[in-house]
Amino acid sequence: MNEKQRLESAQINPADQKSEKDYGQYFQAVYQPPSLKDAKKRGKEDISIHRDFHIPEEMNGFGEGKKFLIRTYGCQMNEHDTEIMAGILIEMGYEATNQTEDADIVLLNTCAIRENAENKVFGEIGHLKPLKLKNPNLLIGICGCMSQEESVVNRILQKHSFIDMVFGTHNIHRLPQIVKEAMFSKEMVVEVWSKEGDVIENLPRSRKGSIKAWVNIMYGCDKFCTYCIVPYTRGKERSRQPEDIIQEVRHLAANGYQEVTLLGQNVNAFGKDFTDKKYGLGDLMDELRKIDIPRIRFTTSHPRDFDDHLIDVLSKGGNLMEHIHLPVQSGSTEVLKLMARKYTREHYVELVKKMKEKIPNASFTTDIIVGFPNETDEQFEETMSLYREVEYDTAYTFIYSPREGTPAANMEDNIPMEVKKERLQRLNALVNEIAAKKNLEYQGQVVEVLVEGESKKNPDILAGYTSKNKVVNFRGPKSAIGKIVKVKITQAKTWSLDGEMIEEAVEVI
Ligand code: 5AD
Ligand code: SF4
C-alpha cells in the first residue's frame, strides 16, 4: 500500500475516527513506517552510545496525580523494556497502577514472535475501546515488537484509530515527547524507526523486584533465522560497553540484589560489533564473576557463537550458574539448514558434550519448533531422538507460525495443522517424561534455593529457585525471603520440587 492509499483508507473509516483528526497533514509530518526490507539491508555503520537521556524540563511533574499501567507480552527483553518505560513515566511524576480503570496511560508492550501473540494483543486493543470512549483523556499506546511491523501499524491506523500512540522498540527513550505530543495534538502519534544502531545509556528503570534483576548486555540480532521476526523488530546487533554493564551489576549487588540475568536476543554475539577491542561474553563473564553477587545467568544463547573461552569461564563456577538455555529448534540437520541456523545436529551435540565435560553439573533447556515447512515425520523423529540424547531439563515448544516478511513465510507451509499438533503433543509428552525423571534425581538431595516469596497457591509456603532454575516449594520463615537457603527435597514433581528448609547442608548439588 502506498502513502496515498494509506491516507485514503485511514480517512474512510468514520466509525473509529476522532472528529478533529486530519490524517493527511499529520502523516506527512511524522509517520515513518517501519520496513522489514530496510531492516535486512542494514550495514555495518557505527554504533553510537548516548548518555544524555533526560526528561525535558517542561515535562517534569507532567504526570503528577496521574497513573499508568503497562501490560507486557512476550520475552524477558520486553519485561525489561517495561521496567525502563515505567522508570521514565515515574520520573515524569506518574504513579503505577494495576487497575485499567484508574489509569491515565495504558501501554501494551507487544510481542510479534508468533501469530497467537499478536492475536492476543488485538483482542486486548478491542477491550480497551469502551474504556477510551468512557474516558477520552485516557492515552493508549502500542509499543514493543508488533509496532515494528508495517502491517500492524497500518491495521491500527485503519481499524483502531482510537489508539493515541504507536512507538517502536528503538523509540522507548522518546516516551516523554511521544506522550506530550499525544496529549496536546489529539492525533495518533506514530514514531517507529526501522533501522537503529544506537545504544542509549542511563535510562531510568523501575525494577519489578528487589531480589532478581535483568541487565541488557546487547540489543538486536543479526542471525536472521528464516522463521524469525526478531532481527527486523529489534534491529541490528549492538553491544553495551563492558564498563557500563559491570557498573550496573556492581550497583545491583550493592543494592542487595541476589541474582542478575544478562539479556540479549543472541548473547553469545556480545562484543562482535566492537571495533576497538576483541572482547566477548567469556571476557565479560570473567569480570562479572568477581562481583559480590550470588548468582549470574544469561539468556539467550545461540549454539553457533558459543565459544570455548566462554565454556572455560563458565567452568570456573562460583556465582556463574550452570544452567544453559541453548535453543536447538530442530534435531534434523536438513531442517536446521532451511531454518538458516548455521549448525548441524552433530555440531550441536558435540557442543553440549563439550560443555557437559567441562562444566560440572551443567543443565540444559531449549526451544523447539515443530512443523517447519517441509519437516518430514523422519525429521521430526530426529528432534525426538536429539531430545532424549541431550536430556534437557525442560523445553519451550512451539508450532511453527509464519511471520510476514521473513524468508520462511515464502516457503509453502505444507504441514497440516493436525500433524503439527500431533507432533507438538508427542514432543511435550517426552519433555514431561524427562522433566519428571530428572526431578526424581533430586529426591533426598539438598539444594540451594534463592527464596523469592510466598507461593502463589499457599501463603504459608515459600517458593524459590535452585541454581538450575528449578522451582522449590517449602515451609520456612518469611525472613528467608530474598536469601539463599538450603532445602532438602522431599518430593519431586514434574515441574517443581517440594522440600524442607534445613540448617546445615548435607550435600549441595
Ligand atoms: N514460529 C514458531 N516459533 C518461533 N520462534 C521464533 N519464531 C518463531 C516462529 N515464527 C520460537 C523459537 C525461539 C523462541 C523464542 O520462539 O523457538 O527460540
Ligand atoms: Fe530469532 Fe534467535 Fe534466530 Fe535471532 S538467533 S533470528 S532472535 S531465533
Does any ligand 2 atom lie closer than 6 A to the CB of residue 75?
no
* Ligand 2 binding pocket includes 265 (Cβ within 6 Å): yes
Look at residues 444, 454, 455 and name the one whose alpha carbon lies nearest to residue 487: 444
Question: Which residue type sits at 412?
Answer: E
- Ligand nearest the Cα of residue 424 is 1
Give the atom of ligand 2 at the shortest distance from the alpha carbon of 222: 4
Half-sphere CA count of 291, side-chain side, radius 13 A: 26
Residue 45: predicted pLDDT: 64
Query: Which of 42, 114, 223, 342 has most ligand 2 atoms within 8 Å of CB, for mutation?
Result: 223
Cβ contacts of 175-179, under 8 Å, gap ≥ 24: 175/85, 175/88, 175/89, 176/55, 176/56, 176/59, 176/62, 176/88, 176/92, 177/56, 178/141, 179/59, 179/62, 179/89, 179/92, 179/105, 179/139
Intervals of CATH 3.40.50.12160 along the chain: 3-199
Closest CA to 380 of 321, 423, 439: 423
CA of 164 to the centre of ligand 2 (A): 31
What are the DSSP E strand ranges found in 41-182? 48-50, 67-72, 95-96, 105-110, 139-144, 165-167
What pLDDT was estimated at residue 108? 98
What is the reported pLDDT for 46?
72
Q: What is the residue with the minimal CA distance to atom 1 of ligand 2? A: 228
- From first to last of its 509 residues, what are the pLDDT tens digits of the chain? 333 333 333 332 333 333 333 333 334 334 455 666 677 677 666 788 999 899 999 888 899 999 999 999 999 999 999 999 999 999 999 999 999 999 999 999 999 999 999 999 999 999 999 999 999 999 999 999 999 999 999 999 999 999 999 999 999 999 999 999 999 887 899 999 877 778 999 999 999 999 999 999 999 999 999 999 999 999 999 999 999 999 999 999 999 999 999 999 999 999 999 999 999 999 999 999 999 999 999 999 999 999 999 999 999 999 999 999 999 999 999 999 999 999 999 999 999 999 999 998 999 999 999 999 999 999 999 999 999 999 999 999 999 999 999 999 999 999 999 999 999 999 999 999 999 999 999 999 999 999 999 998 898 999 999 999 999 999 999 999 999 999 999 999 999 999 999 964 333 43
CATH 2.40.50.140 domain position(s) in the chain = 446-501
- Domain 203-440 adopts which CATH fold? pyruvate-formate lyase- activating enzyme (3.80.30)
- The residue nearest atom 5 of ligand 2, judged by CA position, is 223
Cβ-in-10-Å burial (0-12, 13-18, 19+) of 93 comes to middle
- Do residues 69 and 107 lie in contact, with contact meaning Cβ atoms separated by under 8 Å? yes
Best residue among 36, 237, 302 to mutate for probing ligand 2, ranked by most atoms within 8 Å of CB: 302
Task: Pick from 78, 113, 221 the residue to mutate for probing ligand 2's pocket: most ligand atoms within 8 Å of its CB.
Answer: 221
CATH classification of 3-199 is 3.40.50.12160, yes or no? yes
pLDDT at 456: 86
pLDDT for res 43:
67
Quick one: which atom of ligand 2 is closest to the CA of 231?
6
Residue 282 beta carbon below 6 angstroms from any ligand 2 atom? no
Residue ranges at the known binding site for [4Fe-4S] cluster: 75, 111, 145, 221, 225, 228
**What is the DSSP-derived secondary structure letter of residue 179?**
H
Ligand nearest to the CA of residue 401, numbered in listed order = 1
Ligand having the closest approach to the CA of 74: 1
Taking the C-alpha atoms of residue 54 and residue 463, their distance in angstroms, rounded to an integer, is 38
CA of 340 to the centre of ligand 2 (A): 10
> Which option is the CATH number for 446-501: 1.10.3720.10, 2.40.128.20, 2.40.50.140, 1.10.600.10?
2.40.50.140
Residues enclosing ligand 1, CB less than 6 A? 113-114, 227-228, 327, 329, 367, 369, 398, 400-401, 403
Starting from the CA of residue 368, give the closest ligand: 1
